[in-house]
Chain A
Amino acid sequence: MICIQCPVGCVLDIEKQDGTVFVCGNECERGKDYAIQEVNSPKRMITTTVFIQNAFRLLLPVQSERPIPKHLVKSCMLVLSRVQVKAPIQYKDIIYENIMGTGVNIIASCDMKQR
């Protein structure tokens, strides 16, 4: 695995033994933390768009409030592809609550005025 915490991009050697993760190849502690998270429960932010009615544009950029489990990203995209909202929308408005049961909300990434 390559650590992405800083531009160095250390190549990490990971070994999982009895539930403990052993990391080597990292030049700093952040690499170790990153590797452990990646192995145990990798998470990703999702950013996408949803259809919006009554606005000047067709699509509203949205994002997850915080990272969600990586394996749920694809299904979240499918769910959000069917979501429609109505203008006006404000930055950080909740567009979709508790997506796929993660406890994470999807929020608007910016304002969108009504036409």
Chain B
Amino acid sequence: MKQYDVVIIGGGAAGLAAAIEADVQGSSVLLLERNPEIGGILLQCIHEGFGNFIFKELLTGPSYAQCFIDLIMKSEVEIKVNTTVVDIKRTGYITAMNKEDGLFPVHRKSIILSMGCRERTRAQVLLPGMRPSGVYTAGCVQRMINVEGVMPGKEIVILGSGDVGLIMARRLTLEGAHVLGVYEQSSEPGGLTRNIVQCLEDYDIPLFLDHTITYIHGRNRVTGVTVAQLLNGKPDKGSEKHILCDCVVLAVGLIPDTALLDETQIVRDKITQGPIVDSSFQTSCKGVFACGNVVTVFDVVDDVSDTGKRAGLFASRYAKGMSIDEAIISIHIDQQFSSVIPQRISTISDDVKLYLRPLKRVEHALLTISDESYVLIKKHIRIMKPSEMIVLNLSSEILSKIKGTQLYIGVDAT
């Protein structure tokens, strides 16, 4: 079978951007997508808010995807849909499967992993109770309503105030359901303020911070939930309330979908669980690149596309036999952050964007980036929140100034 320069696993936002770029660079590209269509999760995100940076407008998910789909259709990228990558062996041998070709090996010079993320399940948050029908994760509900054409329930309780949960609170309401409340375990909402206002306040949907669901009732179908306030992280029995409902929507977090990496020796970031990447988005395995939500869950799809484009560029260069490692600089973050992507800098001849995830809320933070001797960048950040990734641009000028192999990112609260 044919050998491709670049094979991309996953045709969502990251994969599409990677494929287009690799094609522009002149590589032969194969894009593998397990769903019947390319576009990934964007196809079900029918709300607006995408493309503010790349297209300078707020597009809906399908529109954003359409822009990339139009480009890819004009390109030479070979696309196989309804095709599942069955496994990636330790040696890097890829086997894929579909109806037309059966089981087949995929020969390539470089791979780009862009499988995206999956949702945290009920069991992973140890939510007790019965096991009735009607308990769904938010993304699943979004697919039901916007793609499959079915309605999950009428009286809804949502656990989790991240953007996915907030968007679904509004969507469910607009489709005629009654959202009884959004319950959030933390004392801060998990999503953008914009969504709190436009999804909850606009529709008088109450938000209960420091609350959780302690029990799901119902033998066959959800009949209700017990909710309680959290005191010192534990549910306060005295505050328990029973809420009648027929559907529980769980928006309790997204996790990089790294199942295909299990057999490989690709090194993972302990916090994000995604593969560690350098500034060319190459993983610890030479020739294997990763971009988008499989590396870490991004907030803004424009950033996902950026990482995809970059991975496409470097995977293409790698396939051409070009040397892509210009430096080995490890990035260290202090305890104000939970993760940084990329975790290493390997390129200094063009700008590198760093994506930082804050660990807690800090106002008026002074972010500093220094090498072993000097402070290279100082930036005032008005508000740092876990729900909002910080994107920093390190210009090639600054990169070339770095002495040594370590870069430190820290925060002083002013």
Contact = CB atoms under 8 A, between A and B. Distances in A.
B126 interface: no
A105 interface: no
Interface stretch (B26-34, B129-137, B188-196): B188-196
Interface stretch (B59-67, B207-215, B371-379): B59-67
A48 B46 contact: yes
A56 B48 contact: no
Interface string A56-73: 111101010000001001
A98 B146 CA distance: 23
Nearest to A76: B174
Contacts of B192: 7
Interface stretch (B104-112, B232-240, B312-320, B382-390): B382-390
Nearest to B149: A58
Nearest to A57: B147
Given A44-B202, A47-B60, A73-B174, A110 B66 contact: yes
A53 B398 CA distance: 56
A27 to B, nearest CB: 8
B60 A61 contact: yes
Interface string A101-115: 000000001110000
Interface in A11-61: 44-49, 51, 56-59, 61
B174 A91 contact: no
B197 interface: yes
Contacts of B202: 44, 70
A75 to B, nearest CB: 11
A109 B45 CA distance: 11
B101 interface: no
A100 interface: no
A2 interface: yes
B326 interface: no
A57 B145 CA distance: 12
B62 A61 contact: yes
A77 B174 contact: yes
Size class of the contact patch on chain A: 20 to 34
Contacts of B321: none
Contact of B66 (A47, A48, A74, A91): A91
Contacts of A4: 193-194, 197-198
B178 interface: no
Contacts of B145: 49
Contacts of B102: none
A9 interface: yes
A109 B197 contact: no
A8 B194 CA distance: 10
Given A45-B48, A47-B48, A59 B193 contact: no
Given A110-B66, A111-B66, A47 B193 contact: no
Nearest to A38: B197
A28 to B, nearest CB: 11
B196 A59 contact: no
A56 B65 CA distance: 17
Interface string B146-178: 111100000000000000000000000011100
B221 interface: no
Interface in B32-81: 36-37, 43, 46-48, 58, 60-63, 65-66, 69
A7 B385 contact: yes
Contacts of B47: 47
Contacts of A77: 174-176
A70 B382 CA distance: 31
A59 B147 contact: yes
A13 to B, nearest CB: 16
Interface in B238-291: none
A109 B66 CA distance: 8
Contacts of B62: 61, 109-110
Contacts of A2: 193, 196-197
B146 A49 contact: yes
A83 B193 CA distance: 33
A109 B46 contact: yes
15 contacts: A2-B193, A4-B194, A7-B383, A9-B383, A44-B198, A49-B145, A56-B37, A58-B147, A61-B60, A63-B46, A74-B174, A77-B176, A109-B63, A110-B62, A111-B66
Given A4-B193, A48-B46, A77-B175, 12 more contacts: A7-B385, A8-B383, A44-B198, A44-B202, A47-B48, A49-B145, A58-B147, A59-B149, A91-B63, A109-B60, A110-B43, A110-B65
The 9 A-B pairs of least Cβ separation, nearest first, read: A110-B62, A9-B193, A58-B149, A61-B46, A4-B194, A110-B66, A109-B62, A61-B62, A109-B60
